[in-house]
C-alpha cells in the first residue's frame, strides 16, 4: 500500500526539521514553533505538518502522553496537520514503545 501526504501551504514554509522521539515527553522544536529565517521578526507557526517515518509515537495536546496509556497514536507513514498556533504550542509526543525511537519530519508554515 502506498501512503500519500497532501500539503496545502498558504504561508511561507520552513523545513522539514528532523527530530527523533524518545522515552521522555517532548514538545515541538523551537525552530518550528517560532521562525525568524526569512525576516528579523520572530513569527509563530500558523500550521505544522508532522510525518512519522519509522516507529509510532503517542501524542496529545495539553496532556502528557504516556507509553501504553494516554495519547493518540501516529503510525509510520502517517501525518498530522496542526492548524492553530495553540494546538502547535500544546502538542507533546513520546515513543509508543520503550526504546523504539521514531524519526519525525516537521515542516512549519508562517504568515507572510
- Taking only the tens place, the pLDDT of each residue in 56-98 is 999 999 888 988 888 999 999 999 999 998 999 999 999 999 9
Quick check: 2 pLDDT over 80? no
Domain that holds residue 96: 12-110
| Residue 2 domain-assigned (yes or no) | no
| Residue 5 domain-assigned (yes or no) | no
Instruction: Give DSSP secondary structure letters for 37-89.
Output: SSSSS-EE-SEEEEEE-SS-EEEEESS---TTSSSEEE-TT-EEEE-SHHHHH
- CATH code, 29: 2.60.120.10
- Taking only the tens place, the pLDDT of each residue in 14-46 is 888 999 999 999 999 887 888 755 556 677 888
pLDDT at 111: 79
Total number of domains constituting the chain: 1
| Residue 84 domain-assigned (yes or no) | yes
| Residue 61 domain-assigned (yes or no) | yes
Amino acid at each position: 500500500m502506498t501512503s500519500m501526504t497532501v500539503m496545502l501551504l498558504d504561508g511561507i514554509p520552513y523545513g522539514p526539521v528532523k527530530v527523533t522521539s524518545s522515552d521522555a515527553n517532548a514538545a515541538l522544536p523551537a525552530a518550528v514553533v517560532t521562525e525568524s529565517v526569512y525576516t528579523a521578526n520572530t513569527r509563530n507557526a500558523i500550521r505544522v505538518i508532522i510525518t512519522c517515518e519509522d516507529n509510532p509515537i503517542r501524542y496529545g495536546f495539553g496532556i502528557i502522553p504516556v507509553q501504553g496509556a494516554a495519547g493518540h497514536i501516529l503510525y509510520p507513514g502517517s501525518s498530522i496537520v496542526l492548524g492553530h498556533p495553540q494546538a502547535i504550542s500544546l502538542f507533546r509526543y513520546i515513543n509508543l514503545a520503550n526504546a523504539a525511537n521514531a524519526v519525525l519530519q516537521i515542516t512549519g508554515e508562517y504568515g507572510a
